[in-house]
A and B are shown apart, each in its own frame.
Chain A
Amino acid sequence: MASDLSVCHLGLLHILMKVNFYLFFLALTGFSLTGLIFLGYSSTSLRYKEKRFCLNLTKEHQENSNLQSPQGLSYKQPSVVGPDGKVVPVTPWLSPIVWEGTFDPLLIDSIYRQQNITIATTVFALGKYTQFLKDFLESAEQNYFVGFRVHYYLFTDQPEQVPEVKLGEERQLTVLKVPSSNRWQEITLRRMEKLEKLIESRLVNEADYVFSLDVDTKFYGRWGAESLGRLIGVIHPGYYQTAREQFPYERRPESQAFIPYAEGDYYYGGAVIGGLVKDVYEAAKTCREQLDIDAAKSIEAAWQEESHLNKYFLYNKPSKVLSPEYLWQDFKPHTNEVKIIRFSQVIKNYAAVRPNP
């Protein structure tokens, strides 16, 4: 009997084992199928992000190339504000000029939010200029690309002077130590080289767009995705109603930054350069090379790298131009055409902050 039972048990066990075996395989198949289906769906959804058919584009395509214009071309100077006081929203080469009222912020934000972009932002705060950092960063957190991923790169000779500023979600700050200088002109000139190196070493992998901004400034209004484009320049607030012969371009032919009196579109502010990482890289690299050539000849352009930047932008037209709303000067009284001040240079005592006159 016992043996019968045990045989039964064995038999049962055997069946159970077999059943378990089958169950096990069933479960395994089930899981595998689920896994495969899941993978199938997830890879489709990955593919959905790249909906485009892969065209075998073999011709070297031009539509993303520079807006290069030849030297010596003669054409009328573009105006920024018409004689009736209305602002001009587009350049003669059809780049938009960004003013309040020329864009819909909700629409523009929604377009760029879909692109999951990172905006690198470089500032240089050397010597006594560290005193501007707190206001710069705090006001940026309120106004600058709010809701987007921003990575500040802060170049300073005194990392210990960098204030604690609470950053929003998806915003971060990297401090980069650089050597000091006892000439403010040197400090400003070296920015191009630092920017070039930063892009080479890090930004190509870390960011989509980069803006290089002066630090002795503050944000007072929205600066958002409307400012994004391939290559961005800002119109200097002091010269937007000036004849091109009176722009403070470098006028000595010996300098690489030389622009003749008959040429010039706008006077761009050196305090703001922006665009796609690779386009800003080209600009910074070219300016740095031109600065080095000048330095070798012991010539320093009238407004340092701003002069070289103006030369660059004359022959490599920006794809988008920011109005003086994006670069004002606190000491300037408000004007009718500049309806909103977004970013402005704070009033400072030059003698107090600069290492040299």
Chain B
Amino acid sequence: MFFSVLKTQWQNAKENAKKAFCLFGTKDGFTIVVQVVGLLNCRFGTENKSWLIFNPTILNVASVTPWSAPIIWEGTFDPILIDSIYKQQNLTIATTVFALGKYTRFVKDFLESAEQHYFVGFRVHYYLFTDQPESVPEVKMGENRSLTVRKVQSFKRWQDISMSRMEQLEKLIENELASEADYIFCLDIDTKFYGRWGVESLGRLVGVIHPWLFDAPRNRFTYERRPESQAYIPAGEGDYYYAGAAFGGSLEDVHHLTKTCREKLHIDAANSIEAVWQEESHLNKYFLLNKPSKLLSPEYMWRDINESAAQIKVIRFSNVAKNYAEVRPNP
């Protein structure tokens, strides 16, 4: 019975892997699954010597894209080693969040949890864009951590608030960050950290796989499908569906990303078209044409702390439950 259970599990695993790899199926039938299965402590005895082997402990997930960018899951990296490498580089990580209207209520949890989990031990500079600077709570920051509050205008529609972020980011990088930061991450505010988010996430251009679409085939991705939009991606194309809630990278690369998205959003607006998922649609188009150098698994942008999935061993950063009708200025 045990073996039949194993067998069914194996069949399921193969099915899931096949589905995952439809994501980058090519015409020449590239569907080889790279499965990384291992034990954390693996002892082998040879000539009275044994050694402890670091094996990624993921099951049924890909840890590298077809263009050789790593996909970060728990078990693919050694945190001690990677911290020690990046500690030598004297880095500053800029981190932007937007809290307008009722979204200011999320700031306290975001910042407090970030102080516990986000790039702990590294220099982080938060940039908080808000229309109500007076509502920003006092949050105790660790050493080498700072917060700058920027007042911005609000919009009547949440979609406009979301889309305006691209332009704000573009300007921030141009005007300020060039002289002080090495990397930048742009995160949604209605979220909270629950686990380590560290230097394993650093790279030139970093995208996060969307938590609702990581095991879906590309024809189910919610790309913009109208050719009139600048964000259009035809059926049959697409690597992953990336979340608009988190992206980052080097200043130069994120600047190019935000600038391009801002331009495309303007063109669409001039044509009276709004992409199906606003700037997330444009972000996906950008990442299709400009492949990220590193992908973060949905551990880095999860649905809800109370939801689980077999592949998600650690929830590091997640949306918090909210009543959309209550917090958004419009439906």
Asked if residues A55 and B55 are in contact (CB atoms below 8 Å), the reply is no
Partner of B26, one of A69, A79, A104, A320: A104
Asked if residues B49 and A245 are in contact (CB atoms below 8 Å), the reply is yes
B67 at the interface (CB under 8 A from A): yes
CB-CB under 8 A from B89, the residues of chain A are 62, 65
Give a binary string over A33-62; 1 marks a CB under 8 Å from any B CB, 0 the rest. 000000000000000000111011111011
A48 to chain B, nearest CB (A): 13
Chain B stretch 166-194: residues in CB contact (< 8 A) with chain A: 173-174, 178-183
With contacts A52-B256, A104-B67 taken as known, whether A82 is within 8 angstroms of B36 at the C-beta atoms is yes
Closest to A245 in B: B49
With contacts A68-B85, A83-B38, A320-B68 taken as known, whether A75 is within 8 angstroms of B55 at the C-beta atoms is no
B42 at the interface (CB under 8 A from A): yes
Give a binary string over B288-316; 1 marks a CB under 8 Å from any A CB, 0 the rest. 00010010000000000000000000000
Asked if residues B49 and A90 are in contact (CB atoms below 8 Å), the reply is no
With contacts A69-B85, A92-B81 taken as known, whether A52 is within 8 angstroms of B52 at the C-beta atoms is no
Interface residue stretch chosen among A8-16, A105-113, A144-152, A279-287 = A105-113
CB-CB under 8 A from A52, the residues of chain B are 252, 255-256
With contacts A62-B91, A69-B81, A320-B68 taken as known, whether A90 is within 8 angstroms of B28 at the C-beta atoms is no
A99-B39 Cα distance, complex, nearest whole Å:
21
B64 at the interface (CB under 8 A from A): yes
A-B contact count (CB 8 A): 166
With contacts A89-B34, A226-B68 taken as known, whether A63 is within 8 angstroms of B53 at the C-beta atoms is no
Chain B stretch 56-110: residues in CB contact (< 8 A) with chain A: 56, 63-64, 66-70, 72, 76-78, 80-82, 84-85, 88-92
CB-CB under 8 A from A61, the residues of chain B are 182, 250-251
A315-B221 Cα distance, complex, nearest whole Å:
42
Partner of B67, one of A59, A76, A103: A103
Asked if residues B82 and A62 are in contact (CB atoms below 8 Å), the reply is no
CB-CB under 8 A from A103, the residues of chain B are 64, 66-68
A149 to chain B, nearest CB (A): 21
Partner of B38, one of A55, A82, A99: A82
CB-CB under 8 A from B78, the residues of chain A are 75-76, 78, 92-93
Q: Which of A70, A93, A317 is most buried by chain B, counting CB atoms within 10 A of its CB?
A: A93
Chain A binding surface SS class: loop
A90-B200 Cα distance, complex, nearest whole Å:
12
Closest to A92 in B: B78
Q: Which of B54, B84, B294 is most buried by chain A, counting CB atoms within 10 A of its CB?
A: B54
A96 at the interface (CB under 8 A from B): yes
CB-CB under 8 A from B39, the residues of chain A are 83
A263-B205 Cα distance, complex, nearest whole Å:
31
A98 at the interface (CB under 8 A from B): yes
A61-B204 Cα distance, complex, nearest whole Å:
11
Give a binary string over B218-257; 1 marks a CB under 8 Å from any A CB, 0 the rest. 0000000000000000000000000000000011100110
Give a binary string over A213-233; 1 marks a CB under 8 Å from any B CB, 0 the rest. 000000000000010000000
CB-CB under 8 A from B50, the residues of chain A are 243
Partner of A93, one of B44, B67, B77, B252: B77
B5 at the interface (CB under 8 A from A): no
Asked if residues A246 and B181 are in contact (CB atoms below 8 Å), the reply is no
Closest to B30 in A: A104
Asked if residues B54 and A75 are in contact (CB atoms below 8 Å), the reply is yes
Asked if residues B53 and A102 are in contact (CB atoms below 8 Å), the reply is no
A158-B69 Cα distance, complex, nearest whole Å:
43
B46 at the interface (CB under 8 A from A): yes
B201 to chain A, nearest CB (A): 10
CB-CB under 8 A from B181, the residues of chain A are 59
A4 at the interface (CB under 8 A from B): no
Asked if residues B49 and A246 are in contact (CB atoms below 8 Å), the reply is yes
B51 at the interface (CB under 8 A from A): yes
A321 to chain B, nearest CB (A): 11
Lowest 9 A-B CB distances belong to which pairs? A104-B66, A76-B54, A92-B78, A101-B32, A243-B51, A62-B89, A82-B38, A63-B250, A96-B68
Binding site for A on B (CB under 8 A): 24, 26, 28, 30, 32, 34-39, 42, 44, 46, 49-56, 63-64, 66-70, 72, 76-78, 80-82, 84-85, 88-92, 173-174, 178-183, 200, 202-204, 250-252, 255-256, 259, 291, 294
List 19 extra interface pairs beyond A55-B252, A107-B24, A320-B68, CB under 8 A. Answer: A52-B252, A53-B256, A55-B174, A58-B179, A61-B182, A62-B90, A62-B91, A63-B250, A82-B38, A86-B34, A92-B54, A98-B68, A103-B68, A104-B26, A111-B67, A243-B46, A244-B51, A245-B49, A317-B85
